[in-house]
Amino acid sequence: MQHYWRYGLRLLAGLAGGVVLLSPAQAADWRESATQQDKVGKLVRVMPGASEIMLQVGERYKNLYWAAKQGKWEFAEYQTEELEELIEKLQITRPKRAETAGEFLRAVFPGIRQAAASRKWSRFEPAFEHLRRQCMACHARNDHGFVTLPIPKRASSPVLNMD
Protein backbone atom coordinates (compact mmCIF):
# COMPACT_ATOMS: atom_id res chain seq x y z
CA MET A 1 0.00 0.00 0.00
CA GLN A 2 2.77 2.42 0.91
CA HIS A 3 4.42 1.63 -2.45
CA TYR A 4 1.32 2.89 -4.29
CA TRP A 5 1.23 6.04 -2.19
CA ARG A 6 4.84 6.84 -3.04
CA TYR A 7 4.23 6.09 -6.73
CA GLY A 8 1.26 8.45 -6.67
CA LEU A 9 3.36 11.24 -5.17
CA ARG A 10 6.07 10.75 -7.79
CA LEU A 11 3.45 10.79 -10.53
CA LEU A 12 1.83 13.96 -9.20
CA ALA A 13 5.18 15.65 -8.84
CA GLY A 14 6.04 14.65 -12.41
CA LEU A 15 2.77 16.04 -13.72
CA ALA A 16 3.06 19.27 -11.75
CA GLY A 17 6.74 19.86 -12.34
CA GLY A 18 7.16 18.48 -15.79
CA VAL A 19 10.34 16.49 -15.33
CA VAL A 20 10.98 16.41 -11.56
CA LEU A 21 10.29 13.04 -9.96
CA LEU A 22 10.53 12.44 -6.23
CA SER A 23 12.61 9.57 -4.96
CA PRO A 24 11.01 7.40 -2.25
CA ALA A 25 13.31 9.07 0.31
CA GLN A 26 12.04 12.54 -0.66
CA ALA A 27 8.42 11.43 -0.48
CA ALA A 28 8.79 10.25 3.14
CA ASP A 29 6.22 11.72 5.50
CA TRP A 30 8.05 14.30 7.63
CA ARG A 31 5.53 13.68 10.44
CA GLU A 32 7.04 10.22 10.80
CA SER A 33 10.66 10.77 9.79
CA ALA A 34 11.61 14.24 11.10
CA THR A 35 13.18 14.93 14.45
CA GLN A 36 10.94 16.29 17.18
CA GLN A 37 12.56 19.72 16.79
CA ASP A 38 11.96 19.73 13.01
CA LYS A 39 8.36 18.63 13.50
CA VAL A 40 7.71 21.47 15.94
CA GLY A 41 9.40 23.94 13.60
CA LYS A 42 7.23 22.89 10.68
CA LEU A 43 4.05 23.06 12.76
CA VAL A 44 4.89 26.54 14.02
CA ARG A 45 5.46 27.72 10.43
CA VAL A 46 2.04 26.47 9.26
CA MET A 47 0.01 27.85 12.17
CA PRO A 48 -2.49 30.40 10.87
CA GLY A 49 -1.51 34.02 11.08
CA ALA A 50 -3.72 36.75 12.47
CA SER A 51 -4.90 37.72 8.98
CA GLU A 52 -6.02 34.15 8.24
CA ILE A 53 -7.92 33.94 11.50
CA MET A 54 -9.43 37.38 10.94
CA LEU A 55 -10.80 36.30 7.56
CA GLN A 56 -12.69 33.55 9.37
CA VAL A 57 -13.74 36.00 12.07
CA GLY A 58 -15.15 38.29 9.36
CA GLU A 59 -17.32 35.50 8.00
CA ARG A 60 -18.64 34.64 11.47
CA TYR A 61 -19.23 38.35 12.17
CA LYS A 62 -21.46 38.69 9.09
CA ASN A 63 -23.27 35.43 9.79
CA LEU A 64 -23.84 36.37 13.43
CA TYR A 65 -25.46 39.66 12.51
CA TRP A 66 -27.75 38.19 9.89
CA ALA A 67 -28.66 35.12 11.91
CA ALA A 68 -29.91 37.41 14.66
CA LYS A 69 -31.56 39.80 12.19
CA GLN A 70 -33.47 36.84 10.71
CA GLY A 71 -34.36 35.47 14.14
CA LYS A 72 -32.25 32.35 13.66
CA TRP A 73 -31.09 32.49 17.25
CA GLU A 74 -29.64 29.02 17.51
CA PHE A 75 -27.41 29.80 14.53
CA ALA A 76 -26.53 33.18 16.07
CA GLU A 77 -25.46 31.45 19.28
CA TYR A 78 -23.37 29.02 17.23
CA GLN A 79 -21.66 31.91 15.41
CA THR A 80 -20.91 33.53 18.77
CA GLU A 81 -19.25 30.32 20.01
CA GLU A 82 -17.22 30.02 16.83
CA LEU A 83 -16.10 33.66 17.02
CA GLU A 84 -14.96 33.18 20.60
CA GLU A 85 -13.02 30.04 19.66
CA LEU A 86 -11.30 31.87 16.81
CA ILE A 87 -10.14 34.66 19.13
CA GLU A 88 -8.90 32.03 21.60
CA LYS A 89 -7.01 30.35 18.73
CA LEU A 90 -5.46 33.73 17.89
CA GLN A 91 -4.20 33.99 21.48
CA ILE A 92 -2.36 30.70 21.03
CA THR A 93 -1.04 31.05 17.51
CA ARG A 94 -0.04 34.71 17.74
CA PRO A 95 1.31 35.42 21.23
CA LYS A 96 1.94 39.10 20.35
CA ARG A 97 -1.84 39.47 20.03
CA ALA A 98 -2.73 37.46 23.15
CA GLU A 99 -3.14 40.39 25.53
CA THR A 100 -5.44 42.46 23.32
CA ALA A 101 -7.33 39.32 22.26
CA GLY A 102 -7.92 38.52 25.94
CA GLU A 103 -9.15 42.07 26.58
CA PHE A 104 -11.49 41.72 23.60
CA LEU A 105 -12.85 38.40 24.84
CA ARG A 106 -13.58 39.82 28.29
CA ALA A 107 -15.14 43.03 26.93
CA VAL A 108 -17.36 41.46 24.29
CA PHE A 109 -18.35 37.86 24.78
CA PRO A 110 -20.35 37.87 27.99
CA GLY A 111 -22.66 40.52 26.52
CA ILE A 112 -22.99 39.12 23.02
CA ARG A 113 -23.61 35.61 24.38
CA GLN A 114 -26.38 36.91 26.66
CA ALA A 115 -27.90 38.99 23.88
CA ALA A 116 -28.05 36.03 21.50
CA ALA A 117 -29.47 33.80 24.23
CA SER A 118 -32.19 36.39 24.94
CA ARG A 119 -33.47 35.86 21.39
CA LYS A 120 -34.50 39.50 21.22
CA TRP A 121 -33.28 41.80 18.46
CA SER A 122 -33.73 44.78 20.79
CA ARG A 123 -31.07 43.31 23.13
CA PHE A 124 -28.89 41.91 20.38
CA GLU A 125 -28.52 45.04 18.25
CA PRO A 126 -26.73 47.16 20.90
CA ALA A 127 -24.57 44.18 21.93
CA PHE A 128 -23.55 43.69 18.30
CA GLU A 129 -22.72 47.39 17.99
CA HIS A 130 -20.54 47.03 21.10
CA LEU A 131 -18.81 44.02 19.49
CA ARG A 132 -18.29 46.00 16.27
CA ARG A 133 -16.75 48.96 18.11
CA GLN A 134 -14.55 46.69 20.23
CA CYS A 135 -13.30 44.97 17.07
CA MET A 136 -12.20 48.29 15.66
CA ALA A 137 -10.64 49.38 18.97
CA CYS A 138 -8.67 46.13 19.05
CA HIS A 139 -7.55 46.70 15.46
CA ALA A 140 -6.34 50.19 16.43
CA ARG A 141 -4.42 48.84 19.44
CA ASN A 142 -2.70 46.39 17.08
CA ASP A 143 -1.69 49.02 14.50
CA HIS A 144 -4.51 48.04 12.13
CA GLY A 145 -6.86 50.96 12.73
CA PHE A 146 -7.42 51.14 8.99
CA VAL A 147 -9.46 47.91 9.28
CA THR A 148 -12.95 49.19 10.00
CA LEU A 149 -16.14 47.17 10.09
CA PRO A 150 -19.46 48.27 8.69
CA ILE A 151 -22.76 46.70 9.62
CA PRO A 152 -22.82 43.69 7.27
CA LYS A 153 -24.95 44.07 4.15
CA ARG A 154 -25.18 40.30 3.68
CA ALA A 155 -23.92 37.01 5.06
CA SER A 156 -22.10 34.17 3.36
CA SER A 157 -23.68 31.15 5.01
CA PRO A 158 -26.25 29.24 2.94
CA VAL A 159 -28.14 28.73 6.21
CA LEU A 160 -29.18 32.37 5.96
CA ASN A 161 -30.52 32.18 2.37
CA MET A 162 -29.08 35.50 1.27
CA ASP A 163 -29.10 34.72 -2.45
Q: What is the mean pLDDT of residues 20-35?
A: 73
CA atoms within 13 A on the CB side of 26: 8
pTM for this structure? Answer: 0.78
Q: What is the pLDDT of residues 37-53, one digit of tens each?
A: 988 898 889 989 999 99
Give 135: exposed, middle or buried? Use CB within 10 Å, 0-12, 13-18, 19+: buried
| CA distances (Å), origin 122, targets 71, 80, 118 | 11, 17, 9
Q: Please, what are the domains in the chain?
A: 2-44 (no CATH), 50-151 (1.20.120.10)
Residue 158 CB: number of other CB atoms within 10 A? 8
Query: What's the CA gap between 73 and 67, in Å, rounded?
Result: 6
Check: CB of residue 14 under 8 Å from CB of residue 21.
Answer: yes
Query: What's the CA gap between 153 and 32, in Å, rounded?
Result: 47
pLDDT score recorded for residue 162? 72
